[in-house]
Chain A
């Protein structure tokens, strides 16, 4: 087996997030580590939210992908520490989210304050800052529902967590 972490990361970055197809699971920060134990490959994943229903699917996709690349013994383990944060998203990833129609998390450093104070979310459609939160919860656990008061389009905001 070729012990090449970079290569494994490249394979894993071919897996899209099941709920946000424009972002892959590496960009999302879900892949925490890749370890080689002899003939076995261990992939450490961390959930975005404790109850994120996409985790089971990601687990399955990781196994399928690596099996298809010839890695027969793959173990996926779940780690909780450090807790997943939107701070791990690069600016490029955030731009991808915005282009896809999801307003990216605002704060530079996630905290209780940035999680709960998000009044200046820009509309990913028209860019207006004249937006309003409609619901603290959106289509998935990691998002909140907003509406733009300028172009009147509803949109999801990725919570800064």
Chain B
């Protein structure tokens, strides 16, 4: 395995976890009730821990003197490789739930695969994260059902969230050159496998939640090349504020 390939692979995964964690942190004090507020921030905390472990490893693989903090605070938007789905804003609670739910499904599969690879660090991170993510998947799946099979209002909102976020699903199973290499090394499953896994999980959940599967529409692409929706720029402006205003400030 080429070190620079593994670096890029960890960076992509770490970036997605990081941006998800940030979006979850924005849910703090915005949960529908106190217990769920705590749950939302706990989800974010797990993801931040996963992002940290992955980015520390990425920095080590890169071996150019950058630390995980440098990767988080000193890269511009075009150098981030998180999926566009992860940066979508918390329009309402349903949006936050649907976004995190789809990503939890994805990460569950990714970590399951990585937990068996011949790389001590990565398999260690994955084994740990797998336990956390399976818990997220169960919690978020419960919310999709509860909102979908809830009131007229909650049903409409969660359906809207699925419809609006659907176009970002394609990136989760799209393949580029790096993905193919990682698949050959046993670090990833094929795009086709990921697609059928995601569709089968999501459709059984949606059926249970009395929701309909969004119509197949255009799937957007670009984050693997650093292309993002307008939201990432705003997110980074806030997340990186301190380091931009006071470079190298530390605590």
The residues of A with any CB-CB pair to B shorter than 8 Å are 47, 49-53, 79-84, 110, 112, 115-116, 134-139, 141, 145, 159, 161
Contact = CB atoms under 8 A, between A and B. Distances in A.
Determine the main DSSP class of B at the interface with A: helix
Contacts, number: 80
Interface of B: 21, 35-36, 38-39, 42-43, 45-50, 52-53, 120-121, 123-125, 127-129, 131-132, 134-135, 138-139, 142
13 contacts: A49-B45, A50-B52, A51-B47, A51-B49, A80-B127, A81-B127, A112-B131, A115-B135, A137-B39, A137-B42, A145-B38, A159-B135, A161-B135
Given A47-B49, A49-B46, A49-B49, A136 B127 contact: no
A81 B50 contact: no
A112 B134 CA distance: 7
A139 B38 contact: yes
A84 B124 CA distance: 10
B124 A83 contact: yes
Contacts of A80: 53, 121, 124-125, 127-128
Contact of B45 (A51, A83, A110): A51
B107 to A, nearest CB: 12
Determine the main DSSP class of A at the interface with B: loop
B39 A135 contact: yes
Contacts of A112: 131, 134
Given A135-B38, A137-B39, A79 B124 contact: yes
Given A137-B39, A145-B35, A51 B48 contact: yes
Contacts of B138: 116, 136
Given A52-B49, A80-B121, A112-B134, A47 B35 contact: no
B13 to A, nearest CB: 13
A161 B52 CA distance: 21
B124 A141 contact: no
A146 to B, nearest CB: 11
Contact of B35 (A49, A83, A135): A135
B36 A135 contact: yes
